[in-house]
Structure 1
Amino acid sequence: MEIFQPDLIDQRDKQEKTPLFLAVENDHMACVEYLLDKGADTGIGNKDRETALHKACEQENADVVELLLTHGAGVNRACCRGWTPVHEAVGRNNVEICGMLLKAGANLSQRNSYGITPFFLAAQTGGQEVLTFLMNDGADVNFQMVDGATALFEASKNGHGGVVKLLLAHKADANKPTKTLLLPLHAAAQHGHLEVVNMLLPVTSEERIRESGISPLHLAAQYNEDEILEVLLQAGYDANAPLSPDHSCMYQDRRTTALYFAVANANLDAAEMLLEAGANPNQDTFNPLLVAVRQGNIQMVRLLAEHGADVNARMPNCQLAFPAAVLLCVRYPAMLKLLLDHGCDARACFQCQCASNSHPPAKGLCKDDLGLQKEEPCMQFCEMISAPSVCGWTGPIIDLLLDYVGHVKLCSRLRQLLDSHQDWVGVKDRTRNPPSLRQLCRQQIRQEAGLQRLPLLRTLPLPRRLIRYLHYDE
């Protein structure tokens, strides 16, 4: 004998699930049929406001979906996340259930709590079949979300190559920008989706890229996507394209070039690619060479110097009477020698305003925060090297610098520093005698060549021994 209690048919458990919801959740078709025949309410949701129809779509049970729709289940009911049953079906790329829901009146324009429509969700999740179904049903391929993102942008960001190809075939516009002016190509480059980048390159407007204020090269370099960087350079993207002021001001160092990103990431391969493509190593306010010196990245410093980076670059808002690179590598003689070999001005380190006269109390070192610190009076080399944190390097550093200058006189402070250490007496003695003719000749030749032509000395048809002599390689 059947015992039926109508007042219990829609009873809820602690999760606010009804018997109908539980029957659908556990795939008990006979129970679902029985409960519906007895008048179970299809519109009651659980604590997340998900109905039995949501659950059936989630589980991709087409028979249950059909049964629920036959009994009047609401196709546009939204859960607490704003998802409708059609969102559930689209998210699982289930064309059959989508068709059933659309016939029952599902609204394709309904958005979830994040403003995402079913069509946008299909692109986001890579559902090619359901995307085709929705486009055939009239979905707008160029519909933009609140933030300006299109389905093509989202598919590009997530690397869904098949979806990107499908959308482009249906006339999706690759040049519709987001509210931040980014294009699908930007998204693909940032996330390293090479296949998508190759599809978008022929259909992306260079003018729109310029209007965006940021090149895909910047994003590829920033996120160490070397393959993408190579493809973009081969496609002709400008290695010197600057960030717009709006983008540049987002960084404390006011960087503007893709090369700066590569150097800041210590990405030697990316930096080399950009330099070989013609990147100017002296375009940024804070020279990338100084970034590499500060990192102690001698390979990067060598690469930049060989491509014409200014070894005498100044540090913005930090007034120094000598090259800023010397300040940054005073504890690293090998780095300093490399810079001196490439023309770093050693003589400036000995041009003290006080000379033999007594010096005022030494100032502290400029704080190294990428050169954006408070402006201070011009600091002399002798002031810097006498700071307690670096004065222990005075002898070796001056000894090295003397190899790259002619006759110089030490100021009273430098002499004092050298006198303070018994092992440095020989360094001081070097300045009492004139440099050798060998050294003076080398200095004169290098001076006549000039900074820009120093690297070319190696290409001259001269004996190898002479080339080594000119480059301190003896």
Structure 2
Amino acid sequence: MTEPYRDGWIALHEAAYYGQRECIEILLRGQPGMINKRSNKNQTPLFLAVSRCRVDCVELLLENGADPDIPNAAKETPILKACERENPEILAILLNHGALVNKPCTQGWTALHECVCRGNVEICEMLLRAGAKINARNMYGISPLFTASQSGKVESLRFLIKNGADVNTQANDGATALYEASKNGHEEIVELLLSQNADPNLATKAGLLPLHIAAQRGNDGQRLLSNMNYPLCSQSSVKIVSMLIPVTSKARVRRSGISPIHLAAERNKDEVLETLIDAGYDVNATLSEDRSKMYEDRRSTALYFAVVNNNTDATEMLLDAGADPNLDTFSPLLVALRQGCIQTVTLLVEHGADVNAFISTHPTSFPGTVMFCMKYLSLLKYLMDNGCDALSCFQCQYGSNPHPPLKMTRHRDNTDDIGEEPPKVPVQFCEMISADINSRWAGPIIDVLLDYVGNVQLCSRLLEHLDSYEDWAVIKEKSEPPRPLMQLCRMKISGLLGRRRLKHMGTLPLPARLIKYLKHEERNRDDDF
């Protein structure tokens, strides 16, 4: 009867667990000293009776001297377990026998935390009358009000505010109740907190405000919470952002080093992004240096995030709102070219992206844009039509002389090492096109580029490429000077128009046939030239 067996239980544990009141009475008459005997998990018979909601057994044990404050191995007391089971009858019995109402578990969680997160206002009232600390904090600095906001328990929150809970309490990481409600998409909670003067300009230790997290996480948080039987509202983040915008200090946002515009673009929150733009948030806001360094490519603008995500809707929205496509260290146009997305490329070029953008960490003697579209000839032609410098691709320092052996290095067409020290000698076009990944396209690439230059002299390495494949002989012949008069005239007219006008050629007062001629479309037999 007194010898432990499974999990260190004795017969008294068993009787309490299964609600055998008569057995408890018999056992206690024989061994009254065993009433607070603990199992291997530090569970007393009282704790087990509370866990199983055995009201009559709880009463009997307490009347026979059971200690109501002995916790289990996780430091959970019977009173905390009664709150977890949402059993006001047992809670009242424990309180009447002097149970400590503020005794925390291992993580500092109190009985009030427990009943608040379950939305049980009746039990909350019982605990407060018994002396529960309304602003008690667990080991993470989380108060009951913070818990109610985090879990979306509106009635619990109203009760706590009514009884004097601090609406601006901050957890150890600086997060406020308003921040957590915004993060998890609890629209009604946000509205209630703001009505009670919760400060929307208190930042976390990471420098983020409630508006930041609402722009970034609102709907994501709700998807997660929906699996926990919390209501799902797909528009919650937009509504919360709309509530936070008028009360959030833009100066405080700037001080954070990151705009909610960045976060909305990063997470593809297009509706949130539109709301922020309409509210006047700067589409050209740049990340602080410290935040930019968190990304290997040193990105800086919301436009870059949109382009990296291949989000053409967000890209167009930002550009139409005045986003500058040339602010980032690594041009968004280069990203779009690498992705091979003609729609994004077109949007960027039409809004002034530099078609001759270079890569600062990988200097080349020709535009970096050319390097990123060698596999996409239609994009290469589009860039050339819009003023990309083709001539630099044929200006080799070795000319017709033998070239030094190629260094067998990995061809890089990504931005993973954008922060590395740049090489001292710029890479030439003939070297880049000789990389394994590009060499099979050498002939067609050279063929396209020749349409945008006058008389040029191909270097020995380019000639080697053209000689390597029989069908490319016609391209070699095309390159030999003198170039046709029609081509020389085309280059002269294009030069007189200038790059800016070439981008908007369709709007110039030029004859349609001349525009087709300048775009190399006179070869199309369907055109009447």
In structure 2, the partner of 1:418 is: 466
Structure 2 equivalent of residue 74 of structure 1: 100
TM-fit CA distance, 1:316: 0.8
More displaced, 142-151 or 282-291? Answer: 142-151
- Does 2:404 correspond to 1:404? no
2:117 and 2:147 in contact (8 A); partners too: yes
Root mean square deviation, CA, Å = 1.9
How far did residue 297 of structure 1 move? 2.5
Residue 333 (1) aligns with residue 359 (2): no
Structure 2 matches for 1:8-407, cutoff 5 A? 8-192=34-218, 193-364=237-408, 367-370=412-415, 371-376=418-423, 377-407=425-455
Q: CA deviation at 1:369?
A: 4.7
Amino acid at match of 1:320: T
SS in 1 for 2:441: helix
Q: State the alpha-carbon separation in 2 of the partners of residues 445 and 35 from structure 1.
A: 101
- Structure 1, 278-287 or 453-462: larger mean CA deviation: 453-462
Name 1:431's counterpart in structure 2: 479
Task: Please say if residues 363 and 383 of structure 1, whose CA atoms lie closer than 8 Å, have aligned partners that are also in contact.
Answer: no
SS at match of 2:504: helix
- 1:360-403 CA-partner distances (Å, limit 9, x unpaired): 22345664452444422122211222234422221111111111
Q: CA deviation at 1:462?
A: 4.2
TM-score, normalisation: structure 1: 0.95
Output the CA distance in 1 between the equivalents of 2:419 and 2:469.
35
| Contact 1:318-1:373 within 8 A present in 2 as well | no
Does the Cα contact within 8 Å between 2:387 and 2:503 map onto a contact in 1? no
Other structure's SS at 1:467 match: helix
Deviation string 1:401-437 (CA, Å, 9 cap, x unpaired) is: 1111122121222122212221111111012253334
Aligned residues with identical type, % of pairs: 56
CA displacement at 1:461 relative to structure 2? 4.3
CA distance in 2, matches of 1:387, 1:455: 31
* Kept after mapping to 2: 8 A contact 1:316/1:372: no
Q: Compare 317-326 and 271-280 and name the one that shifted more.
A: 317-326
Distance 1:111 1:151 in 2: 13
Aligned residues: 474
Q: Is the 8 A contact 1:364 1:384 kept in 2?
A: no
Q: Which runs of 5+ in 1 are unaligned?
A: none
1:447 maps to 495
Q: How does the TM-score come out when normalised to structure 2?
A: 0.85
SS in 2 for 1:450: helix
Q: 1:18, CA displacement in angstroms?
A: 2.1
- Please give the alpha-carbon distance, in whole angstroms, between the structure 2 residues aligned to 1:472 and 1:214: 45
Query: 2 CA distance for matches of 1:303 and 1:102?
Result: 61
Query: CA offsets, 1:4-47, max 9 Å, x none?
Result: 33123223334332222222222222222222222221111122
Q: Distance in 1 between matches of 2:397 and 2:154?
A: 73
C-alpha contact (below 8 Å) 2:140/2:171 kept by paired residues: no
Change (3 A) 1:378 1:32: same
Partner amino acid, structure 2, of 1:438? M
Amino acid across the alignment from 1:19:
P
The one-letter code matched in structure 1 to 2:461 is: R
The answer on whether the counterparts of 1:367 and 1:373 sit within 8 Å (CA) in structure 2 is no
